[in-house]
A and B are shown apart, each in its own frame.
Chain A
Amino acid sequence: MLEVSGLSAHYGRAHILEDVGFSVAAGEVAVLLGRNGAGKSTTMKTIMGLVRPSAGRVTFLGQDLAGAPPYAIARAGIGYVPEERRIFADLTVDENLAVGRRAAPAGMQPWTPERLFALFPNLAAMRKRPGGRMSGGEQQMLTIARTLMGNPKLLLLDEPSEGLAPVIVERMAAAIGAIKAGGLSILLAEQNLHFAGLVADRAVVIETGRVRWTGSMAALDAADEVRQRYLSL
């Protein structure tokens, strides 16, 4: 479904991504694993068009998206949930969802606020509350819900477990499982190996802007050396 190949990106003169390549299959949850600063978020932003790639291809459902503006990439069916959440603080929950709303492609059951409130029950009680007056966990739920309103086929989730209490993390993992069960493909970025293990099928290990290892989560469990070298602190 998503093919990334030879992707490079720079901030000024610093090389952030070098020749990054991986793929996400339909209905799969793939996880980009790596330490802080490894290039996970930049990979996400480059796929989304928020960082301009200096080389490489991003092919989504046969369409080359590298260098396209973010809104066109979103309309092609990729939904982006940023690490910093970026809730519109002055807008209510309902209004935040309205900004994300896009018509669903034919044959797909569209996401509605009601369906999303069933997925994230906490949000249902605060539809008129401004996004700025919500807890971190509630904001994280809202930012995922907001992106789902666009009815994407592939979801980019950047560190959804970051800064959340353990009980919320478990709930988040359950929600992601439900979203996957609905047929969405997901590309997750994580440094929390435990959380990745709860939801992901396959791992892409990234360090200093390069892909170092790819394989199933089960294979990663067995590959002590890979985890030692690229993931442990």
Chain B
Amino acid sequence: MDDLVVQALSGLASASSLFLVASGLTVIFGVTRVVNFAHGSLYMLGAYVAWSLVTHGVFAFAGPFWQFWGGILGAAVVTAAIGAVIEVLLLRRIYRAPELFQLLATFGVVLVVQDVALWAWGAQDLLGPRAPMLRGAVRILGLRFPLYELFLIAVGPLVLAGLWLLFHRTRFGVLVRAATADREMVAALGVNQALLFTGVFALGAGLAGLGGALQLPRESVNLHMDLSTITEAFVVVVVGGLGSLTGAFLAALLIGELSAFGILILPKITLVLVFLVMAVVLVVRPYGLLGRAPQGLHASSGPPDPLLLPAPRALRQLGAVVLALLVGSAWVLPDYELSVLTEILVALLFAASLHFIMGPGGLASFGHAAYFGAGAYAAALLVQHAAAPMWAGMLLAPFAAGLLGLVFGWFCVRLSGVYAAMLTLAFAQIAWSTAFQWVEVTGGDNGILGVWPDAWAQPKPVFYLLALVLCVGGAMLLRRIVWAPFGAALRAGRDSPLRAEAIGIDTFRTRWMAFAISAAFAGVAGSVFAYAKGSVFPTYLGISRSVDALLMVLLGGVQTLSGPLLGAVALTGLQEQLMRGTDHWRLLLGATIILLVVFFPQGLAGAARAAWEKRA
């Protein structure tokens, strides 16, 4: 019983930190409609900057109290300034871009910040000092409870109250609330939005920085804080309802307590538990606990999506030549180059499968790695437990991944836009934590080794040709489906759900089936990858692999069929070159993504097509 009280209190302390990060994220989203992937990075920067300010004693002249608390507050101010710079230099240029591109650009910021932090603070974990005056512990029901945790518990409600006053008692706050409802109307009333947006972004960034800085006495500062934080903050914000502060507070309490008690009750599946709650909430209340269906949002200001056109003759001829060259390579290129090409082929099918649901399906999947990994794990488990031959593994993979797609898709295809993206991400995290935490079956972090092809396919050229047949064949089959009546129904449902329903298309069923088909093809890619590498690991289902696929599709261009293929080659090639050529590949990749988003908001293939059409 006493344990439970202490556990509940420590859940409250975590909830406070969660709320600080999530409140910034939700305020930024409310006003700018940008889902800031880099919010976790700002949290991490807050922690690092606080560490530097405190340990170097920047505020030591004012005594030990201010050495610590000055450092914490200073870190929040510095992070707010960094946020303002990001808004002015990057986001201001892309407010009119599709929301997924904004997400991609902020992911570019994540990569850049990772490398900058590595360069500035090194790879080892940093330990901060304890807070003055809050070093001790109190006895609660006979158990020791750290004073600092009690302080954190108070911070959450205090910040909520402070924000409430800001938003209801100041002109800036009233303008922020008005802009959250209808930013175009606010502009028409003479408010310069640029200043408002910069202010809001700085406020949100400062809150994230404060959240990170306050962790200093609690846990070590490290380079993995960014992605773990952003995932949790996404869950909180989505469960609470995007744009709702009170919702974020309630959701932070819910998730904080859930994690605290999850460890006691089900230590193996704490992660699964959190994401499961998110999935349940979104199914019952699709816009979160206190969220509302988006309103006052006027149709996207960008140009309408271009129609899908058959590839011009020149492009088909080019494709045939490239295919012939790829086949010929099997006899010419050495083994290493062939395995790189094999990886590119896998990326190509993976990207094509994601594009199938994103482009024609109009549903952004942020967790497509789940199905890639499901295919890979299905094959690997079959090899490990049944010593099955390769063909059996490759045959099972699409069914396993497709089945998973049927289950997850049933929830996901009900939502659209950012909410669908977040839900797919949550499900992918469930799949990832299952692979990571269910050690008895999946081997956990060590993965499953010895997943080699059958003897006949062992030589690299043979396996390469097999991969070529499966991946290019798969991509062509997907292309065929887009042009089939099923694909036409899918596109109709995307463009106008009401009219599609009115002519007798079951849009839910169509999207659901498309989701499963897309998952099945991702599974094929995963199984080829597993046999090519000889092993599978939980990272196959991780966020960064999902983001890789998104990058490929978005860099290539969503609204062309050849785009994702181009994107797969570009990204895999770029990563390969960068990783070999420099230690700062994240910085370069991040900067490249940012520049591409700013200059080619239509994607590479979109830009090429625009140039082609202008010529014609």
Measured CB to CB, the residues of A under 8 A from B are 12, 48, 50, 69-71, 74-75, 80, 82, 86, 88-91, 95-96, 98-100, 102, 146-147, 150
Contact = CB atoms under 8 A, between A and B. Distances in A.
B506 interface: no
B510 interface: no
Nearest to A95: B174
Given A75-B190, A100-B189, A147-B189, A91 B174 contact: yes
B185 A82 contact: yes
A213 B570 CA distance: 58
Given A12-B303, A82-B185, A99 B175 contact: yes
Nearest to A132: B181
Given A88-B178, A91-B177, A91-B181, A99 B191 contact: yes
A88 B188 contact: no
A74 B174 CA distance: 19
Contacts of A150: 189-190
A71 B174 contact: no
Nearest to A152: B190
B190 A71 contact: yes
Interface in B188-208: 188-193
Contacts, number: 59
B177 A69 contact: no
A99 to B, nearest CB: 5
Contacts of A80: 188-189
Contacts of B504: none
Contacts of A99: 174-175, 178, 186, 189, 191
Interface residues of B, number: 20
Contacts of A146: 189
Given A12-B303, A88-B181, A89-B181, A98 B174 contact: yes
B43 to A, nearest CB: 28
Nearest to B304: A12
B306 to A, nearest CB: 11
The 3 closest A-B pairs by CB, nearest first: A74-B190, A70-B187, A86-B185
Contacts of B188: 48, 50, 70-71, 74, 80, 82
A182 to B, nearest CB: 19
Contacts of A12: 303-304
B99 interface: no
A98 B177 CA distance: 12
B288 to A, nearest CB: 16
Contacts of B296: 86
20 contacts: A48-B188, A50-B188, A70-B184, A71-B191, A74-B187, A74-B188, A74-B189, A74-B190, A86-B182, A88-B177, A88-B178, A88-B185, A89-B181, A95-B177, A96-B178, A99-B186, A99-B189, A102-B189, A102-B190, A147-B189
Nearest to B182: A86
B171 interface: yes
A91 B178 contact: yes
Contacts of A100: 189-190
Contacts of B171: 98
A80 B182 CA distance: 14
A71 B192 CA distance: 6
Interface in B138-180: 171, 174-175, 177-178
Nearest to A147: B189
Nearest to A86: B185
Interface string B113-155: 0000000000000000000000000000000000000000000
Contacts of B189: 74, 80, 99-100, 102, 146-147, 150
Nearest to A80: B188
Given A48-B188, A70-B188, 8 more contacts: A12-B304, A71-B187, A74-B190, A88-B177, A88-B178, A89-B181, A95-B177, A102-B190
Nearest to A149: B189
A167 B189 CA distance: 29
Q: Which of B181, B184, B193, B303 has the most CB of A within 10 A?
A: B181
Contacts of B174: 91, 95, 98-99
Contacts of A88: 177-178, 181-182, 185
Contacts of A82: 185, 188
A100 B579 CA distance: 53
A226 B193 CA distance: 43
Nearest to B175: A99
A147 B296 CA distance: 18
A82 B189 CA distance: 11
Contacts of A89: 181
A90 B193 CA distance: 19
Contacts of A74: 187-190
Nearest to B184: A50
Nearest to B303: A12
Contacts of A69: 187
B198 to A, nearest CB: 14
Interface in B246-298: 296
B102 to A, nearest CB: 20
A71 B193 CA distance: 8
B172 to A, nearest CB: 11
A71 B195 CA distance: 12
Contacts of B182: 86, 88
A136 to B, nearest CB: 17
